[in-house]
Amino acid sequence: MKIVFLEPLGLKVSLIEEACAGLKAQGHEVVIYPNRNENLNEMIRRAQDAEIVIESNIPLRKDFLDACPKLKMLSIAFTGLDHIDMEECRRRGIVVKNAAGYSTEAVAELAIAMMVDVYRKVVENDRITRECQRKGIMPGREIGGKTIGIIGMGNIGQRVAKLANAYGCKVLAWNRTPKTVDGVTFVDKETLLKESDIVTLHIALNNETRDFITAKELKLMKPSAILINTARGPVVNEQALADALKSGLIAGAATDVYGTEPPLKADHPLFDAPNLIMLPHIGFATEEAFVLRLGIVIDNIERSQNLF
């Protein structure tokens, strides 16, 4: 079969080639494109003869699938699959596998880093230093002893809980299904929002979680509380968050995800919101995570060959 990497997944091509030695030994043709190109026509050109396609988070819809009639499998180097037309893949019998778990440590560590950055006003104090000032330093707050509310207790949420416990925090959590996790007290959504100093989101995007945090939920939070989103952009109503920050309804926020993938348009509602750190969707992007997910996508192919 012809296996096509639509992109190098943040790694050197030589490393991918080495990892694919087993697939080549089985007689598969492996083609690795050394650059990422989201142009539909170019993606079709690269993939139109492939039985298996590997990519991360480039949207693949019906128009792409229509142009790739030989396609049997999508091995997605990403956790979420909301950028894939899953209904169309099911209709065509195309196997779709994600790289579950590859970014657990990366995203959990970034969530904690964003909490520290907002609390210690790292970005603002960097600006003050670069402006050669001293009198304008901005004192911050400490995470230790605070109550952290985790919405979504999958692998990432549970890892955040362990890191928060290490800081000496009280950890509250809400999850769609009941769980028992050491060092974590499970509560309802309203209680979590009211009692937490820091609310951090780690839920998947679906019809139930879209706009999970709106003006209604933000009004429940403490005026001193902050919101962290490393989950999915549409989980939070962006205009409601911008309004809450401008009015002082909550003290601050940090987000790594948006309703649309960066680059964002100049009129994005969050750009003029105060006390907000905006990152360009880097939660998954560490060297260690990239290597781990390469192994997962290749393993997914090897384990799935009996399905087609």
Residue 36 DSSP code: -
Q: Taking a C-beta distance cutoff of 8 angstroms, is the pair 172, 147 a contact?
A: yes
Burial class (CB in 10 A: 0-12, 13-18, 19+), 103: buried
**Catalytic entry in 92, 124, 261, 268:** 261
**Which amino acid, residue 3?**
I
Give how far the C-alpha of residue 257 lies from the chain's centroid of Cα atoms, to the nearest Å.
7
Which candidate, 39, 52, 38, 68, places its Cα nearest to that of 5? 52
Sign of CA pseudo-dihedral 55, 36, 58, 3: negative
**Catalytic entry in 232, 288, 302, 303:** 232
SS3 273: coil
SS3 195: helix
Q: Taking a C-beta distance cutoff of 8 angstroms, is the pair 299, 21 a contact?
A: no
CA atoms of 167 and 142, how far apart (whole Å): 10
Give the residues across from 76 on adjacent strands. Answer: 55
Helix axes 287-304, 104-120, angle to 10 degrees: 150
232 is catalytic: yes
SS3 237: coil
268 is catalytic: no
202 is catalytic: no
CA atoms of 63 and 87, how far apart (whole Å): 13
**Which amino acid, residue 195?**
E
Which positions are annotated as active-site residues? Answer: 232, 261, 281
